[in-house]
Structure 1
């Protein structure tokens, strides 16, 4: 039965069900045909931040009967009942709800399943991936993402294997034939033979395998309809106080146990230090790596704050005692205002001051941490800048009105956004300036954040500014981003990339300047290591 393609389709399913229930067969069996018996059905899973945007687009571009499978259990049950009765074309839901309710969704009569931002299922052992693999194979599956390769080539296998189960071989086969040759060939230290093999593998992947299952559309298709985008990395010098604390953290006995763990113990046992007199704590790597990232951004991040949980308060008291051993650790409130605790503030305040002179400028500021959002919130308020803020605590019902307000209200200058909560799916073309305050290990998060402004519908040139703590671990994070973005180019396009780095991912014998503990716990005090590597 065909659709009309106009407003008559809006009640088409409900009227059809009503007619079926008038038939003798219904009165006898009390059973209806499968929901997709007459018209196809679709389940769309995506970030919670874009569920209502999908609903808006369906209302704009077509005549579909759409159900939102979020909210309370009773609200979700009502939507599910409507679907089972055949009253809905499309059901929209979020990642977390679909994962939790997979037992209620996996065996329903879906003609098509679409996962928006399908890179969320890139880890084959993650609970979300295991859950989504439970859907019946009868449904056609589509994954939508701008970043199918984020950290490693194996992520592409996981995504493709979800979309077309069993058609691209096993994970071990993918590693042996594709991932390993490409990673080795990307190194600046690769032999001619390794480079040649990588080139052949990349070309085969691009020309023979991916075209069967992977349709890539880039902004090149609409570049004539888009303005320009500039992407600038700003190396922000750490303040003298930040450098002092950074060095103090590097000199801690716990950190030295990590960085020197493979050395021969000085007790004469000929054993490695980690297996003899200097064992290291299991969680110390993550603990002190995270601490260095905080110090690179703002020293107040390692101070106890009023919003900290008891566990966070205890942890931050310990860190602040290490950072300020003389017992002169500042209080959190006054510290967030002190420029000597954050080298990035001077840079950001200078940018905002310049941009605010033109009342048409609008700015997106992304950061990973709620604490930094709180600090930025306070600073913007003190400078009387109009702004709105979106983080993980923002209600779904408030998000679209907030986005509309930013795009349309001339008094709103800045949109403060949590990278994880608002870095995907949002349309913020009202902005023409984007600041990434702190870089993410996964370049896809930052790239997605930038594209909130630089997307179809943007009419002004967009300028992106990434702030890095110069010489700190943030330079390593950015170098890893460059490395991973090159992986994307090689995997998608088989393009020849400049080999900036000698490091080889997952190869302990060839960690180079990118991988391993030694590169994490290092301060390039008088040089910009990443900038020099890229330039050379």
Structure 2
């Protein structure tokens, strides 16, 4: 029988990762308990235990089965290797006649069947983007992981090793060292550096899989793959199994120690916990502690010790006016933290690993002046009683009481527009009043910053909410209501595709015109589905050929959309939701990336950029993030910079410019970034970000690490800043 390429088998398994995120691996050759299986209902999907011909088994995806059946198979004994090979050979043995000779007609039929199957597989792969990641990148020889003289010898099969890049081999060695030392750790490579294949190569080594022994068991399984949601629901059952190792993909989801997911995953019975994530820390330094404390409990001490010894000094040492003693203390704690993390975490960036194979990336921020109509609506929104209640919360109450407004008469806002709807069933307010207004008000301000159509009622909402949203739109549009086509959501093609009342779309129009003339291919991201609808009409009006992918796109169509965009020279734009995730969204044919609206979480925008800037990209990638100048989006961006700086300091030990006075989660030093009053400031007549940079330069804190240039886009009133 022709040797089977183990790597090609594993490639088919990778497709599961779009929805399956937790790998629970049982001990090789050891029977697992099944006493906890009865509470889980079995589904009706068929699961045959009869061996099938290997030629058919290779191309099949893993059969669907219930969680209980997977665990039952974990509890069954494994067939010896010789019996597995014998069983496989029985399925693929060529037919013989009674004298033991092969029947020629049957042989021809067998060969034709195999040829037909190979053609079918070729047809399935036709059109898929060849990223080069599956080509041979090294010699055809195994990668030995075990120490000299160690028995048995643990090695990655040659069929996998020859396709690994050097940084991936280093990652596999790191994973095996964690495994050998019986503790957990984090593989924190940038998105697109192949964390999945590194995990697969590691498993192939420790389970002693090679091209001769394909891991197909008919009476037992070694690996259980499940999703976060399934594990959260059935964690009490799965936690009764003694797992050899657990691998959690998108491990940053374990950032909140109080979440049900974190608590469920903490019950997994194994010391060998491996997390895979490209964003080890997203918002706060304490998230780093939570992840490391899950993979290697106690590695960073107690939670309170970590907060006092690392978190607080690092944050206060980053203040723009921090005393020199604070800065020195922060530097020492940073170096100490990085040294501790090195034992439990391997973190590499694209620049460090495959930068020499790519043409580089440039990240730009475009401050787009809002249209005059947008500015009027934005200011009108800030004057609503709902927001004024939040802005004036700490002022003395007007009733003469010594209490603050938020503690006295202004705790509730019955004369507001947003508050009455939120509390339609509780006119006395809620325990969080008036802070329950913060998020709804920010959502409305962000919608105004992006496009005025977004604040109008959504026809898919309940009638009561549509009525309230129409009332809100009328209140903030005021006398300009006719300019925006009324307070009801419009489907007028010409009106929605017009850019005159949207500052960002005016800038986008000019940028895209210059790119299209040069043959650039563009990724256009937005967080809002309604904004994607508007942008789609804009693209149609301008005559751009485009594809679109959002949460409503069926999973089985996503890869074909990606392949079509990458392979078709005529497709100019890929319109995509920032929240669209999943494996395979490698849009490497695009060399221009536009993020229409920023996200509070910087990792979301970074992941969006990396859809294009990853292995296989042959052109220089330029990213443009559009911000509504003078809106709270500038504050969102500044907080993104702040969070990214903290991540660079805590995770990578980098030195960052000290731009901001604000300190996260510190009421004493809210500065220009934090606190409710900052969120609802009127910034419409100033360039907030520019002022911070200019102040930094005047104070003489420039160290040559940041170069900022500004220029006017032709006739757009838009300020362009390159960072």
State the TM-score bracket (shorter-chain normalisation).
Answer: 0.7 to 0.9
Query: Residue in 2 aligned with 1:369?
Result: 528
Would you tell me which structure has more helix in proportion to its own residues? 1
Residues 415 and 485 of structure 1: is their aligned pair in 2 closer, same or farther, counting only changes over 3 Å?
same
Partner of residue 27, structure 1 = none
Is the alpha carbon distance of 1:232 and 1:10 closer, same or farther for their aligned partners in structure 2, counting shifts above 3 Å?
closer
Is the 1:503–1:511 Cα contact (8 Å) retained in structure 2?
yes
User: SS where residue 246 of structure 2 aligns?
Assistant: strand
**Mapped pair 1:102 → 2:235:** yes
Residues 181/424 of structure 1: CA separation in 2 closer, same or farther (3 Å cut): farther
1:213 pairs with 2:327: no
Is 1:488 the counterpart of 2:650? The answer is no
Which of 551, 572, 575 in structure 2 is aligned with 1:413?
A: 572
1:389 maps to what in 2?
Answer: 548
Q: How does 1:274-353 map to 2 (within 5 A)?
A: 274-280=406-412, 281-310=434-463, 312-326=465-479, 328=482, 329-333=486-490, 334=492, 336-353=496-513
Pick which of 127-136 and 221-230 moved more. Answer: 127-136
The 1:330–1:340 alpha-carbon spacing in structure 2 relative to 1, beyond 3 Å, is farther
**Residue 83 of structure 1, CA deviation:** 5.1
Deviations 1:346-370 (A, max 9, x none): 11122222222234x2211111111
CA distance in 2, matches of 1:68, 1:132: 25
- Look up the match of 1:38: 29
Gaps of 5+ in 2: 10-24, 33-57, 79-216, 413-433, 697-723
Partners of 1:143 and 1:91 lie apart in 2 by: 16
CA contact (8 A) 1:300 1:332 kept: yes
Q: CA RMSD in A?
A: 2.8
| 1:183 and 2:340 are equivalent in the alignment | no
**1:423-463 CA deviation, whole Å, 9 max, x = no partner?**
88732212111111100111111111111111111111001
Corresponding residue number in structure 1 for 2:261: 128
Shift, 1:526, TM fit: 2.6
| Partner-residue secondary structure (3-state), 1:421 | coil
Q: Are the counterparts in 2 of residues 67 and 90 from structure 1 also a CA contact under 8 Å?
A: no
Q: Which residue of 2 aligns with 1:20?
A: none
Counterpart pick for 2:514 among 354, 360, 363 = 354
- Which has the larger displacement, 237-246 or 81-90? 81-90
Whether the 8 Å CA contact 2:315–2:663 is kept in 1: the answer is yes
Q: CA deviation at 1:388?
A: 2.0
Measure the CA separation in 2 of the matches of 1:387 and 1:10.
32
Q: Tell whether the 8 Å contact from 1:424 to 1:452 is kept in structure 2 after alignment.
A: no
Query: CA 1:423–1:462 in 2, change beyond 3 Å: closer, same or farther?
Result: farther
Alpha-carbon distance in 2 for matches of 1:423, 1:449: 12
SS at match of 1:236: strand
In structure 2, the CA distance between the partners of 1:95 and 1:377, relative to structure 1 (3 Å rule), is farther
Query: Which ranges in structure 1 are unaligned for 5 or more consecutive residues?
Result: 12-33, 42-62
Range moving further from structure 2, 247-256 or 94-103: 94-103
Does the aligned pair in 2 maintain the 1:362–1:412 contact within 8 Å?
Answer: yes
In structure 2, do the counterparts of structure 1 residues 92 and 400 end up closer, same or farther at CA, with 3 Å as the change threshold?
Answer: farther
Q: Distance in 2 between matches of 1:465 and 1:384?
A: 22
1:105-143 deviations in whole A, cap 9, x for unaligned?
4444643322222111111112222222222125x2211
CA–CA distance in 2 between the matches of 1:111 and 1:410?
48
* Aligned counterpart in structure 2 of residue 506 of structure 1, from 648, 652, 665: 665
Is 1:526 the counterpart of 2:526 in the alignment?
no
CA deviation map 1:37-71 (0-9, x unaligned): 33999xxxxxxxxxxxxxxxxxxxxx9997477xx
Find the counterpart in structure 1 of residue 614 from structure 2. Answer: 455
Aligned partners of 2:600 and 2:7: how far apart in 1?
46
**CA displacement, residues 366-385 of structure 1 (integer Å, 9 cap, x when unaligned):** 11111111212222233332
The whole-number CA distance in structure 1 between the counterparts of 2:238 and 2:61 is: 16
Q: Is the 8 A contact 2:318 2:327 kept in 1?
A: yes
Deviations 1:461-492 (A, max 9, x none): 00100000001010000000111111011112
Change (3 A) 1:282 1:354: same
Report the counterpart of residue 173 of structure 1 in structure 2: 305
**Alignment length (residue pairs):** 483
* TM-score, with structure 1 as normaliser: 0.83
C-alpha distance in 2, partners of 1:483/1:82? Answer: 49
Determine if the alignment matches structure 1 residue 445 to structure 2 residue 577.
no
- TM superposition shift of 1:524: 1.8
Distance 1:407 1:179, change over 3 A: same
Matched, 1:249 2:381: yes
Alpha-carbon distance in structure 2 between the residues aligned to 1:197 and 1:331: 57
Say if 1:368 and 1:420, in contact at 8 Å, map to a contact too: yes
CA distance in 2, matches of 1:490, 1:521: 29
The 1:289–1:9 alpha-carbon spacing in structure 2 relative to 1, beyond 3 Å, is closer
Q: What whole-Å deviation, never above 9, does each CA across 1:167-218 have from its counterpart, x for those lacking one?
A: 32222221111111111111112112211111110010012x1011011111
Q: Which of 356, 372, 377 matches 1:240? A: 372
Conserved in 2, the CA contact under 8 Å of 1:501 and 1:513? yes
Kept in 1, the 8 Å contact 2:255–2:287? The answer is yes
Distance 2:653 2:634 in 1: 27
In structure 1, the partner of 2:187 is: none
CA distance in 2: counterparts of 1:10 and 1:494, whole angstroms: 39
Relative distance call for 1:67 and 1:136 in structure 2 (3 A) is farther
Q: Secondary structure at the match of 2:354?
A: helix
* CA–CA distance in structure 2, aligned partners of residues 170 and 499 of structure 1: 29
